[in-house]
Amino acid sequence: MVWNASQAMPFQSRLGIGRQMADSMHAVRRLLLLTVVVLIVPVATCLAAGNDTSAQRRAMVETIQSIQADRPIEAGGSIDQAVLQALRTVPRHEFVPEKLKDQAYANKPLPIGYGQTISQPYIVALMTDLLELRPDEVVFELGTGSGYQAAVLSCLASEVHTMEIVPELAETARQRLKRLGFNNVNVLHGDAYFGLKSKAPFDAIVVTAAAGHIPPPLVRQLKPGGRMVIPVGHPFMTQQLTLVSKDSQGSVSTRHLLPVSFVPLTGQH
């Protein structure tokens, strides 16, 4: 090939195009970097929770798996690995009173004050698994408590909106979740029986207090194809953990899974 000097582009023009190309490549690189950051934020937030009790968390998950092996029907065979990884990651001891931290990873509920409890790890795992969450989904939780269930959900979903009726618990949970870096959790104070219309509909709803019936406002705020897990029954008696499913046409079905014992739902409903 013969190069013709008369066809050569002036130096200044070539320099200007080169700068434009460099600027364009730089902009593309920044866009790709921002895209990666956005995609990994929920995971990074979850991983930032700390590893000082990682051995205890692993042992807790092994206990959950052992229980599930004897009761496979409750979670449709086994609890999803993503759920188990969330439980391995979230520092449960940060969500219990100081005097109970040595029991944080035992498979039992613990009191957190104001007549409320943090559910046992197996129940947290099972209820989370039944929601079948995807990373782009939005969840509503009735009953924040200490914030532990919301923290686990935040590792699996895009957004978690959680409402607590006890103002002191709501504020403590808000501060705790913020301090630990669970930035995709929105903590509100109020009567969650009525849900959160401003953020509805939800892909999934979890109720962490026993209700005498399934709240109609929550059913209405559940998306078609959505799932809700709720303990149903009378206060201070054995209740039934219930899975509520809404199909693509909006029809609702329920399935009782196992007997449980939760603190009662309170409020003005």
> Which residues does the annotation mark as catalytic?
119
Q: Which helix (H) or strand (E) holds 202?
A: strand 202-207
Nearest to 228 by CA among 214, 238, 210: 214
| Token pair 């086994």: residue | 78
> Which tokens is 164 given?
């607590």
Inter-residue contact 121 to 60 (CB < 8 Å):
yes
> Which tokens is 163 given?
């409402």
Inter-residue contact 138 to 199 (CB < 8 Å):
yes
Give strand ranges (E) for 33-184. 110-113, 116-118, 138-142, 159-164
